[in-house]
Structure 1
Amino acid sequence: MRFSLVLATKNRVTEVERFLRSLATQSHTDFEVIIVDQNRDDRLVELIEFYSQKFFILHLKQLESGLSRARNLGRSHIKGDLVAFPDDDCLYPPELLAQVVRFFRDSQTEGVIARALDIDEDKNAFLYCGDDNSGIVDLEKAFRIGITFLMFFHAHIVKEIAFDETIGPGSGTPWGCGEDMDYLFKCIRAGYKIYYNAKLIVRHPNPFKIYNFRQLVWREYSYGRGNGYLMGNNFPTSFVRAEILPNFPYVITYMFKGRFDYSVYVAAAIIGMSLGYWDSVKQPKSIQTMQKSTVGSIS
């Protein structure tokens, strides 16, 4: 099985080199890399030329920002049997692609989601994502673990289903994340069976180790707003309440523990989720319905 790995990137070089270096160590070597470069300069050219001697790289330039927009461009060029959308700051352990191939050969599912561990230690990269309970993914499970760089699909799914370019980083909208969960929702609603396999590991930096206080507050707010928007478009009000309300006590708890920073992070996420939910409530139902069913077939 051949992989098409669609890597969207902007403003990063060292992290991209780290990912490409991890590909050079893969035991399964049948893959192509499609780099969608949204930098306005040529900072990646030398790096791409070096690694193109080790494996095939298609270098696409796209000056208009937007993670979903970049992934949609990349998906129009895939030639592999399996497709993944790695982040430009993640890395693949040496056996990952071989493990994914073995999983698909033994499975009747059309997609699999890996687990995200920290770059430096065997702990979850994110506080809110990843557990030991492997199994079929429904909409609620997808909301908990739906991160694009962890997903691997049969190519026919990716050719059929497009990313929503109005959601996610660089979209120009308030919804700074959620394009990944939205994509997973579309796959599940289209009838495709997706499996979460906690034994498949992708490495990713822990945000609390690489961002400063202001960046983390903005990240929690922005991601919260995207999550709230998705919740409002895909789940009943009872689910939204159950997701937002239990977070309020953590604001006070962290404050009493002297963790003012964590208290602010949680508060930012609550505000973001609440505003994101309100975004979905204000939105005309005709647009909600269209977004839930959007596909973008590649002939």
Structure 2
Amino acid sequence: MLFSVIIPVYNRPQEVDELLDSLTKQTYPHFETLIVEDGSENRCKDIVEKYREQLNIRYYYKKNSGQGFSRNFGFERAEGDYLVVFDSDCLIPPHYFETVNQYLERDPVDAYGGPDRAHADFTPVQKAISYAMTSPLTTGGIRGNKRHAGTFHPRSFNMGISRQVYEETGGYRITRMGEDIEFSIRIIDSGFKTALIENAYVYHKRRTNLTQFFKQLHFFGRARINISRFYPDQIKIVHLLPVMFTLGVLFFCSLPLWSLWLFEKLLVPFLAYFALIFVHSSYKHQRISIGLLSMATAFIQLTAYGIGFLKEWWVKLRE
């Protein structure tokens, strides 16, 4: 089986360098790599040239159109049986394609996704961000594990589709703001079989500071409302939990102004929740500092998503 790896990139040559280096270490060699430069000013063409002798790689430069349509650009030019999408800020462990190939030979599916993890070399902030996005104690952790609810919806940071899926669906219909969610819904609605391959994980660097992380999650919240413009039934209770948390925080912060007694009563469960996050993350990473940072990233993960959701919901109401 030949895999075609499609990597859209925008002004991130250093990330592409690290990603391509990880691909040179794959134990399964039957894959090609397509780098799609999406109108970048800071191009990665020279980085790609470094790997000509180590990888079956092609480089394309195109006018900026967003990550969704850049992936379609790669799909159109790919030669593989399976079309695999990675975000440029991922590192791929050596066993990845061997794991996927073995799974597909044993249990063929039309589309798959894998989880993300924190690499040992990540900064403490990156590890804390990864924790917030994968922990069972936050809504970020509801995906990418075998206990996910309902049919598994692959996400484009780590996703593979058969050539038939692309030919019948036409790829991405929107290019930003929830494009991978819309695509996954359409894949499933078209009758294709999806699966989570747990050991086909990637190391996802995501954002490098808390401000960037807030902006990213704020955008994710807006994206969920954008998806509801296409699929009104795709607002689930789990998507409302960050909104409820955000509104609860606003209510909690207002309590001292009019009910100190109620503030004191609610303070205990609020602190207990974040204490649990601190203990769990500290134990998982064996570092108290990451446990402390994880309390901040979990708070941001919930409130930034909730704020973005409410903001775009208000926009939608006024349309």
The verdict on how the C-alpha distance between 1:261 and 1:60 changes in structure 2, with shifts beyond 3 A counting, is closer
2:302 aligned residue: 266
**Structure 2 residue matching 1:148: 3-state secondary structure:** coil
Picking from 194, 206, 224, the partner of 2:221 is 224
Counterpart amino acid of residue 273 in structure 1 = F
What do residues 58-101 of structure 1 show as CA deviations (whole Å, max 9, x unaligned)? 21111224111211111110110011111111011101001101
1:86 aligned residue: 86
1:133 aligned residue: 146
Normalising by structure 1, report the TM-score.
0.77
More displaced stretch, 263-272 vs 50-59: 263-272
Counterpart amino acid of residue 3 in structure 2 = F
The verdict on how the C-alpha distance between 1:186 and 1:243 changes in structure 2, with shifts beyond 3 A counting, is farther
1:103 aligned residue: 103
Judge conservation of contact 1:250–1:263 (CA < 8 Å) in 2.
no
The verdict on how the C-alpha distance between 1:118 and 1:238 changes in structure 2, with shifts beyond 3 A counting, is closer
The verdict on how the C-alpha distance between 1:18 and 1:185 changes in structure 2, with shifts beyond 3 A counting, is same
Please say if 1:164 is aligned against 2:164.
no
Gaps of 5+ in 1: 169-176, 284-299
**Structure 1 residue matching 2:59: 3-state secondary structure:** strand
Distance 1:193 1:226 in 2: 24
- Higher helix proportion (structure 1 or 2): 2
Shift of 1:235: 4.5
The verdict on how the C-alpha distance between 1:134 and 1:198 changes in structure 2, with shifts beyond 3 A counting, is farther
Counterpart amino acid of residue 91 in structure 1 = L
Shift of 1:43: 3.5
2:209 aligned residue: 211
**Structure 2 residue matching 1:53: 3-state secondary structure:** coil
**Structure 1 residue matching 2:35: 3-state secondary structure:** strand
Written as runs of structure 1 = structure 2, the 5 A alignment for 1:6-45 is: 6-41=6-41, 43-45=43-45
Shift of 1:25: 0.5
Shift of 1:236: 3.6
Q: What RMSD, in angstroms, separates the aligned Cα atoms of the two structures? A: 3.0
Written as runs of structure 1 = structure 2, the 5 A alignment for 1:250-261 is: 252=252, 253=270
Distance 2:106 2:150 in 1: 17
Distance 1:51 1:80 in 2: 19
Q: Identity of aligned pairs, percent?
A: 20
| Structure 1 stretches of 4+ moved >6 Å | 256-261
**Structure 2 residue matching 1:191: 3-state secondary structure:** coil
What do residues 111-148 of structure 1 show as CA deviations (whole Å, max 9, x unaligned)? 1111111132797572404454268962xx43xxx420
Distance 1:219 1:267 in 2: 12
Please say if 1:153 is aligned against 2:155.
no
Gaps of 5+ in 2: 135-139, 253-269, 275-291
1:184 aligned residue: 184
Normalising by structure 2, report the TM-score.
0.72
